[in-house]
């Protein structure tokens, strides 16, 4: 019922020529992947070139962030959701833990950015996830619930149709430590329960919840076998066409 999403977050990696080379190498490798949506998220300055080069393919292009302000305005250094749409993006990642940790992103700014993304007709991939200490002290669910409520505050049921949630435990990002499928499923189930409380069961049943944190070709199949895991947000393993395509083709 929920079409899986496999999204690659390229973070601040690759020069333009390398990004084009990887994107073009991915094209044939994922061309038959009708079972899922395939998304890659290069840096801002590569978005137009990559989306042009991927035109007609089944790979969608996402930005890694957007401005909280929706309107064209005096905000030096920012890029609006409308501008992302204009250069060919269909998605935008919002509230990635690296932005929360290192760039002062808060649930309030994530909420504003999410609303901007929706107003520009982009699909927002909203990231949540606890730190290691929070998990160890038994606060993981409380932290994730607070992030969800703050990040999605004021969104209507129809807004939720263009929201994807990415659960990324911070302790599993880039560390090689993956949450076990059981740990991930427990949190995904909790997230869906929280979304049922806020927006009703019919809506929460439709929302894709992605897992992120050291996803690799070797562990994707077990993660995807869980009831509430609807795809993956992949960092390191999305940087090479071959490993990313193996993750995309998890059903093979
Ligand atoms: C990420 O950057 O969102 C991520 C999950 O990274 P990695 O797959 O490298 O852990």
| Contact present, 197 and 160 (Cβ < 8 Å) | no
| Contact present, 107 and 140 (Cβ < 8 Å) | no
Distance (Å) from CA 211 to ligand 1 centroid: 10
- Contact 236 CB / ligand 1 (< 6 Å): yes
d(CA 179, CA 177) in angstroms, rounded, equals: 7
- Summarised one tens digit per residue, pLDDT across range 24-65 is 999 999 999 999 999 999 999 999 999 999 999 999 999 999
Which ranges of 11-139 would DSSP assign to H, the alpha helix? 16-30, 47-53, 81-86, 97-102, 107-119, 132-136
How far out from the chain centre does Cα 83 lie? Answer: 19
Question: What total of structural domains would you count in the chain?
Answer: 1
Q: What angle do CA 145, 146, 152 make, to 5 degrees?
A: 85
Mean pLDDT, residues 157-183 taken together = 94
pTM: 0.98
Say if residue 178's pLDDT is above 90: no
HSE-CB at 20 with a 13 A cutoff on CA atoms is: 9
φ, ψ of residue 210 in degrees (nearest 5): -95, 150
- Contact 22 CB / ligand 1 (< 6 Å): no
Smallest Cα–Cα separation from 233: which of 11, 2, 1?
11
Say if residue 19's pLDDT is above 90: yes
Catalytic residue among 96, 98, 105, 199: 96
pLDDT at 228: 98
- Structural domain boundaries enclosing 33: 5-248
Q: What is the CATH number of the domain that holds 154?
A: 3.20.20.70
């Amino acid at each position: 019922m929920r079409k899986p999403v496999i999204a690659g977050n390229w973070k601040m990696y690759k020069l333009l020529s390398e990004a084009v080379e990887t994107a073009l190498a991915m094209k044939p490798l994922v061309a038959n992947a009708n079972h899922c949506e395939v998304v890659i998220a290069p840096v801002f300055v590569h978005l137009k070139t990559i989306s042009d080069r991927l035109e007609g393919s089944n790979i969608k292009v996402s930005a890694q962030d957007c401005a909280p302000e929706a309107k064209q305005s005096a905000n030096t250094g920012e890029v609006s959701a409308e501008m992302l749409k204009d250069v060919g993006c269909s998605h935008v990642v919002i509230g990635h833990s690296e932005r929360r940790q290192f760039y002062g992103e808060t649930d309030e700014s994530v909420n504003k950015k999410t609303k901007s993304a929706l107003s520009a007709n982009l699909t927002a991939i909203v990231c949540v996830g606890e730190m290691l200490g929070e998990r160890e002290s038994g606060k993981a669910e409380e932290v994730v619930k607070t992030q969800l409520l703050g990040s999605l505050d004021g969104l209507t049921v129809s807004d939720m149709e263009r929201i994807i949630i990415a659960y990324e435990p911070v302790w599993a990002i880039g560390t090689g430590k993956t949450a076990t499928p059981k740990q991930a499923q427990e949190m995904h189930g909790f997230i869906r329960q929280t979304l049922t409380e806020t927006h009703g069961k019919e809506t929460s049943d439709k929302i894709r919840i992605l897992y992120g944190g050291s996803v690799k070709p070797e562990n994707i199949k077990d993660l995807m076998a869980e009831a509430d895991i609807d795809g993956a947000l992949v960092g390191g393993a999305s940087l090479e066409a071959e490993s990313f395509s193996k993750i995309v083709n998890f059903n093979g």
